Amino acid sequence: MKLALAGLIVLIIGDSHLASKDFLLASLHGTLVEQGATVHSYAVCGSNAHDWVAQTILPCGGAERHNLEEAVIDKRDKVKVWSLAELIRRHHPDLLVIELGDNMAGYGVLPELPRDWIAGQVRALLRPVEARKLPCVWVGPPWGTEGGTSNKTFARVKQLSDYLGGVVAPCRYIDSLKFSQPGQWPTFDGEHLTPESYRIWGTDIAKATVQLSRQLRTH
């Protein structure tokens, strides 16, 4: 897939999976740059879809990275989430990649997946995407491992991923659960992967994004 994204501007937004130097901010971002894209990544730990509309202030840090520049990691305990609509106006992307999901699952807090709440969050986030007919892919969460401090379970993440796949249109959905078996990729806390696992996941996402970008550009 040599330089499959040459000349394209790609905007990535995400949660904590993207917000540290050895996470997707390295692997996914870097692989898309290698494919010829101009890539701008923004991430805020703990963010869900509506935070990128409301510009919520969240307590666990964030990050941004532009092309091959070093990632800028913000470890403050009060970080304001960017506005997706403003980022789209700023960068004029040809393709948007959204990596969000784990923070909307209610792991260990809610007895059932909050489907209506998730659907409302997704619709609000995607309004500027629909208005601009911006090609978009939505990356669902990986399996993680059970029994960690995040209270993530295989059953709930499967519910979440299946549901997200049906509500993120016009984005195309990348089902990260298909890249590995439950528990195959080690984690620190049940949710956040090891650097090697993030490297594998990021490469898998990039390959899927390249394939989808071809389809999106032919429509």
Entry pTM: 0.97
Taking the C-alpha atoms of residue 119 and residue 141, their distance in angstroms, rounded to an integer, is 16
Sketch the domain layout of the chain as residue ranges.
Answer: 9-218
- Within a 13 Å sphere around the CA of 37, how many CA atoms are in the beta-carbon half? 29
Q: Just give the CATH number of 9-218.
A: 3.40.50.1110
Per residue in 159-183, pLDDT (tens digit) is: 999 999 999 999 999 999 999 999 9
Which residue carries 């208005």 as its tokens?
131
Per residue in 58-81, pLDDT (tens digit) is: 999 999 999 999 999 999 999 999
pLDDT at 219 over 70: no
Angle at 200 between CA 144 and CA 99, to 5 degrees: 60
Which residue carries 């997707």 as its tokens?
24
Q: Which amino acid, residue 197?
A: S
Per residue in 14-59, pLDDT (tens digit) is: 999 999 999 999 999 999 999 999 999 999 999 999 999 999 999 9
What is the band of 1 on the pLDDT scale with cuts at 50, 70, 90?
Answer: very low
